[in-house]
Amino acid sequence: MLSLHEIILRLTVAAALGAVIGLERVVRRRPAGVRTSLFVCLATALFTILSNELAHRFGDSSGTRIASNIVQGIGFLGAGAILRGSGAVVGMTTAATIFVEAAIGMAAGGGLYAVAGYSTALVLFGLTVIGWAEQYFNLKCRPTAFRVTTSHAESVATEVQRLMASLKIPMQRFRVSMAGGNSIVEFESDVSHGQQEKIVSQLNRQGVVTEVIPVEGHHE
């Protein structure tokens, strides 16, 4: 049986680590901020403690029964952060963060302070340093809309389809329309900055104008 002092310490550590991760989410203006992250870590730590304490109190040989169900329960919370909008799945990073917060809370609840602290450091490294590297080197794919204006839509539409197939980039919402004497080919794809530049350079030429329109509402 744990002392009250030890239980309070474990809960406090879990809440503090969750709040630190939540602060990073708030700074980057992402969902699941300080309170959500704090509560996830605190709740999973408390469940872990209760699982062990109740098993000892009532003589249950399975002291991990409650804790084992945390993984299933946290999956529903993470799924609520994942949405599909503007032709793309958004919220995957937030859902993954919630999932790892639950693991950190369980580690703190089990008294593995070094493991919980190091895991928190790794999470912050992934969210900040790796996130910065993705943006700096333009590695991250983002939903982008392309509009190609030309006087000969049929040949350009075929060219677009062949180009995207060669780059192995799937297209959404592909359509051809008329505007005055010009034809417009429009489509959306998840592309990196490098892929975007390659598409534009391949399509742009005399008589063909390619516009790039970032799709709003994309969040990690």
CATH of the domain at 177: 3.30.70.260
Helical ranges in 84-186 per DSSP H: 92-109, 113-125, 131-136, 153-166
Same domain as 72, residue 119: yes
Q: What is the Cα–Cα distance from 184 to 190, expressed in whole angstroms?
A: 20
Which residues lie closer than 8 Å to 203 by C-beta, 6 or more apart?
148, 156, 159, 160, 163, 210
> Dihedral of CA 101/106/108/113: which sign?
negative
Residues 40 and 96 in one domain: yes
Percent of the chain with pLDDT over 70: 90
Q: Do 33 and 111 belong together in one domain?
A: yes
Whether residue 115 is found in the same domain as residue 68: yes
Lowest mean pLDDT among 61-70, 71-80, 113-122, 157-166: 61-70
Please check whether residues 201 and 96 belong to one and the same domain: no
Kindly state whether residues 72 and 17 are assigned to the same domain: yes
Residues in the chain: 220
**pLDDT level of residue 62 (50, 70, 90 thresholds):** low
Considering its fold, how many domains does the chain have in total? 2
Residue 63 above 70 pLDDT? no
Q: Is residue 120 assigned to a domain?
A: yes
> Are 30 and 99 members of one domain?
yes
The answer on 9 and 105 residing in a single domain is: yes
Residues 26 and 118 in one domain: yes
Please indicate, yes or no, if residue 37 is contained in any of the structural domains: yes
Q: What is the mean pLDDT of residues 43-50?
A: 93
Is pTM beyond 0.75 here?
no
User: Do residues 154 and 204 make contact, with C-beta atoms less than 8 angstroms apart?
Assistant: no
Residue 219 included in any domain? no
Please give the pLDDT value at position 83.
Answer: 64
45-54, 131-140, 190-199 — which is least confidently predicted? 131-140
Query: How many other C-beta atoms are found inside a 10 Å radius of the C-beta of residue 210?
Result: 19
Confidence tier at 78 by pLDDT (50, 70, 90): confident
Mean pLDDT, rounded, for 195-208: 89
Residue 220 lies in a domain: no
pLDDT band at 66 (very low <50, low <70, confident <90, very high): confident
Tens digit of each residue's pLDDT (9 = 90 or more) over 107-129: 999 999 999 999 999 999 999 99
The answer, yes or no, to whether residue 59 has pLDDT greater than 80, is: no
Range of the domain at 115: 4-136
